[in-house]
Amino acid sequence: MTSRKPKVVTLDDFETDCIPSPLIEIHRRLRRGGHDALLVGGCIRDFLLGLSPKDFDTATDARPEKVRKLLPKAFIIGRRFRLVHARRGDTTYEIATYRKEPPSIKSPRGGRGVSPENTYGNQREDAFRRDFTINALYLDLRRKAVIDYVGGIRDLNDRMIRSIGPPDERFQEDPVRMLRAARFAAKLKFTIDAEVTSAIHANKYLLAHVSRSRMRDELMKLFLTGHGVASYQSMMDLNLLASVFPQHKAAGPMIEQAMLESDERHASGHKLSPAYLFGAMLWHFYSDRLKALESERGENMKAGELRQHACYDVLRMTRRYVTLNREAQQFILSIYTLQNRLERKLNIRRTLDHPRIRAAIHLLALRAKVGEVDPTLVAWWEKRQPPQVADRPRKKRSSRHDRRSRYGKRQLKTARS
């Protein structure tokens, strides 16, 4: 696994038809400039496993400033990781310079400190700084050859998720790698190496210090990409879900149903709304909090106020771990407060006119599957719910756009006169 010379495997049957033509041109420009241009990471892993690659990342020895000069429509992003994004049509391709481990890495107290990640290196050093062996493979499109420094091809054949270097150090450098291990195990149906599993159990407390935005992004990848049930089970096996939802065990049946629904919608070519998924996963916490508030303040507060307070308390707890924007919070509040109307068939016409009614009935159906409400009630509302609107309403033009439009008309009128 630590051999100095890489293992090079030629892919005789490799066809470049699966590679986007703009990406092939990007590699040509980099090579003409005298630099390496290799595909790296998940796209190689997925191709070798017979899956359809989605993200194509490029690694090169050229510094970001040089890459930007060689490629049109390219710009540098990032502070911790300086990367180049090259736009081609509606697609953005990522180009990263070879890096090596920073000279000294301290175990992060909060995982929020900025370490000197822009320490550039060579191809071998770049391979050994990555998280798992199956993600450290390089593909040379010109030679049609896979370059393996860390035993990634062997682990792909063994269907094993193995860390590059001591897993304790890897997870202390970036705790999100523990979530990635769970995701890869679920998505690829791989086994996690015993050392990696032990290191996850020893370092899972570090997830409490991961930035909320990164946590949200990882959860979306875990639960909204077609393998939610397997990801949920993987998180349960590794006891990682407690870092996001401390009381998740009591909400297990509801979360499992939400994962099933997410996978079904993904398989049918649709995506479940992230806000709806969080609403379904948090419903049990909301229900428990509402009951507690009713017993504590039921005599002094109206029912509607109690429901709002319960929802705000749950959202406040969740925001300690995961970022939820204002729109998502309002969405969850709406479908929660509508449940009372649906259960009691209150204000039927007004309820059916609510913009979130379909999502609320969807949540009611999910609750029926776990035995919380009568399925006949769900059927009654589903017969009456408004049809789904395929076309989204056009966005309202900004006032700035209107001012420009009026200014243009005035100029045109003046020119004609």
The pLDDT of residue 411 is 40
Q: For the chain, how many residues are written?
A: 417
What's the distance, CA 132 to chain centroid? 18
The pLDDT of residue 116 is 53
Same fold for the pair 1-158 and 274-384: no
Over 70: is that where the pLDDT of 391 sits? no
Task: Given the residues 57, 158, 217, 237, select the one marked as catalytic.
Answer: 57
CB 276, CB 331: distance < 8 Å:
yes
CB 170, CB 203: distance < 8 Å:
no
The pLDDT of residue 404 is 42
Sign of the Cα torsion 367, 373, 375, 379 reads negative
Segment 76-94, tens digit of pLDDT: 998 777 899 999 998 999 9
Note the helical H segments in 5-163. 21-32, 42-48, 64-70, 123-128, 152-158
The token duo for 59 is 């690694």
Question: pLDDT band for position 248 (50/70/90)?
Answer: low
% residues pLDDT > 90 (the chain): 67
Phi and psi for 4 in degrees, rounded to 5?
-75, -40
Q: Is 217 a catalytic residue?
A: no
The pLDDT of residue 397 is 44
E-strand spans in 41-129? 57-60, 74-77, 83-88, 91-97
Closest to 54 in 3D by CA, of 36, 41, 64, 67: 41
Segment 94-131, tens digit of pLDDT: 999 999 877 654 444 444 444 555 689 999 999 999 99
* Residue 97, C-beta contacts closer than 8 angstroms, at least 6 positions apart: 59, 60, 61, 62, 63, 64, 67, 82, 120
Question: pLDDT band for position 146 (50/70/90)?
Answer: very high
Over 80: is that where the pLDDT of 3 sits? no
Q: Is 131 a catalytic residue?
A: yes
Phi and psi for 94 in degrees, rounded to 5?
-105, 130
Over 80: is that where the pLDDT of 213 sits? yes
How far is 164 from 126, CA to CA, in rounded Å?
11
Question: pLDDT band for position 15 (50/70/90)?
Answer: confident
Question: pLDDT band for position 403 (50/70/90)?
Answer: very low
DSSP state of 120: B
Q: What is the dihedral of CA 400, 404, 410, 416, to 10 degrees?
A: -170
Question: pLDDT band for position 196 (50/70/90)?
Answer: very high
Sign of the Cα torsion 186, 188, 193, 196 reads negative
Mean pLDDT of the region 198-211: 93
The pLDDT of residue 70 is 95
Over 90: is that where the pLDDT of 272 sits? no
The pLDDT of residue 390 is 53
Mean pLDDT of the region 252-274: 90
Over 60: is that where the pLDDT of 406 sits? no
Closest to 36 in 3D by CA, of 97, 99, 112: 97
Burial grade of 137 (CB within 10 A; 0-12, 13-18, 19 or more): buried
The pLDDT of residue 117 is 59
Mean pLDDT of the region 148-168: 95
The pLDDT of residue 247 is 65
What does the domain layout of the chain look like in residue ranges?
1-158, 274-384
- pTM of the shown model: 0.83
* Helices and strands in the chain, H and E counts: 18, 10
| Helix (H), strand (E) at residue 137 | strand 137-140
The pLDDT of residue 118 is 67
| Helix (H), strand (E) at residue 414 | helix 399-416
Domain boundaries 1-158, corresponding CATH code: 3.30.460.10
* Fold of the domain built from segment(s) 274-384: cca-adding enzyme, domain 2 (1.10.3090)
Q: How far, CA to CA in Å, does 208 sit from each of 204, 215, 216, 275, 325?
A: 8, 10, 13, 21, 20
β-bridge mates for residue 146, sequence order: 9, 139
Angle CA 1–144–156, to nearest 5: 35
DSSP state of 300: T
Phi and psi for 60 in degrees, rounded to 5?
-150, 160
How far is 361 from 378, CA to CA, in rounded Å?
7
Q: Is 158 a catalytic residue?
A: no
Closest to 163 in 3D by CA, of 174, 173, 171, 172: 171
CB 169, CB 146: distance < 8 Å:
no
DSSP state of 392: P
Mean pLDDT, the chain, whole residue set: 86
Task: Given the residues 36, 126, 131, 140, select the one marked as catalytic.
Answer: 131
Over 70: is that where the pLDDT of 164 sits? yes
The pLDDT of residue 270 is 85
Task: Given the residues 55, 353, 374, 402, select the one marked as catalytic.
Answer: 55
Lowest-pLDDT choice from 20-24, 172-176, 200-204, 249-253:
249-253
